[in-house]
Amino acid sequence: MTSPQTTLTSETLEQQLLQEDALLRGHFRLSSGLHSDTYVQCARFLRRPDLAAPAAAELARRIQEAGLQPDVVVGPAMGGVVIGYELARQLGVPGIFTERDDSGQMTLRRGFTIEPGQKIIIAEDVVTTGKSTNEVARVLEGLGAKVLAVASLIDRTGGKAALTFPNFALLPVTAATYAPDDCPLCRAGIPVVKPGSRPEKAFS
């Protein structure tokens, strides 16, 4: 007999992300050129199936509790591929992904198709601004699909993503960003780390 599934709380998820160095606090140079006190790299969390599965199960529970019944889960590459697959598995539906073509446009490739009228959940590891999520939604809607919601591990928008559909996120994260020439972390003498370098260099 299996034990009842326990709900994954945001506090537990945050601790797991911190333990896996998937959520870092310090001084970071983002790809935009801005500096930030927070850096998220969910791949370090999602490499652990024992952590990814309960997180996806919690997202699936919330989606089902809201009465949403998707036909397909779509996770944009790269960040949405792993969580999209696991969420699809939990929901019992196919999981596919979008990716950018040679011109930089988001599209379906690899023989993936969407049928008109299919209901979609977009899966993301992190919703940062909502811009790429909306880009994926436009692609899917252009194929005749209906986007029901986006589901993510982390929402970095502070609830301010300009989305026209529900946003299910397990953990809201507030991250400050600064222009490089007006960065209090620089003024404090805290070394800046470019994502991809060793994160411990950001900490004293």
The model's pLDDT over 33-85, given as tens digits with 9 standing for 90+, comes to 889 999 999 999 999 999 999 999 999 999 999 999 999 999 999 899 999 99
Residues 6+ apart with CB under 8 A from 183: 35
Has residue 110 been placed in a domain? yes
Give the integer Cα–Cα distance in Å for 114 and 131. 21
Has residue 177 been placed in a domain? yes
Residue 203 clears pLDDT 90, i.e. is over it: no
Is 119 labelled as part of a ligand binding site?
A: no
Has residue 89 been placed in a domain? yes
Give the integer Cα–Cα distance in Å for 140 and 144. 7
Domain that includes residue 50, residue range: 10-188
Is 130 labelled as part of a ligand binding site?
A: yes
Is 71 labelled as part of a ligand binding site?
A: no
The model scores a pTM over 0.75 = yes
Note the pLDDT of residue 196. Answer: 59
- Give the pLDDT band (50/70/90) at residue 2: very low
Is 128 labelled as part of a ligand binding site?
A: yes
Is 129 labelled as part of a ligand binding site?
A: yes
Question: Residue 22 class from Cβ within 10 Å (0-12 exposed, 13-18 middle, 19+ buried)?
Answer: buried
Has residue 77 been placed in a domain? yes
Is 100 labelled as part of a ligand binding site?
A: yes
Note the pLDDT of residue 3. Answer: 38
Has residue 96 been placed in a domain? yes
List 169's β-bridge partners, or say none: 152
Is 182 labelled as part of a ligand binding site?
A: no
Helix ranges (DSSP H) in 41-162: 43-46, 49-65, 79-91, 131-142
Has residue 66 been placed in a domain? yes
Residues 6+ apart with CB under 8 A from 191: 27, 201, 202
Cβ atoms of 63 and 169 within 8 Å: the answer is: no
Backbone angles phi, psi at 16, to 5 degrees: -65, -45
Note the pLDDT of residue 33. Answer: 86
Is 58 labelled as part of a ligand binding site?
A: no
Is 81 labelled as part of a ligand binding site?
A: no
Give the integer Cα–Cα distance in Å for 201 and 11. 26
CATH of the domain at 147: 3.40.50.2020
In sign, the C-alpha dihedral spanning 197, 37, 157, 69 is positive
Give the integer Cα–Cα distance in Å for 115 and 111. 13
Helix axes 49-65, 79-91, angle to 10 degrees: 60
pLDDT above 70 covers what percent of the chain? 93
Q: Could you count the other beta carbons within 10 Å of the beta carbon of residue 28?
A: 23
Is 102 labelled as part of a ligand binding site?
A: no
Residues in the chain: 204
Cβ atoms of 181 and 17 within 8 Å: the answer is: no
Has residue 44 been placed in a domain? yes
What is the total count of domains within the chain?
1
Is 125 labelled as part of a ligand binding site?
A: yes
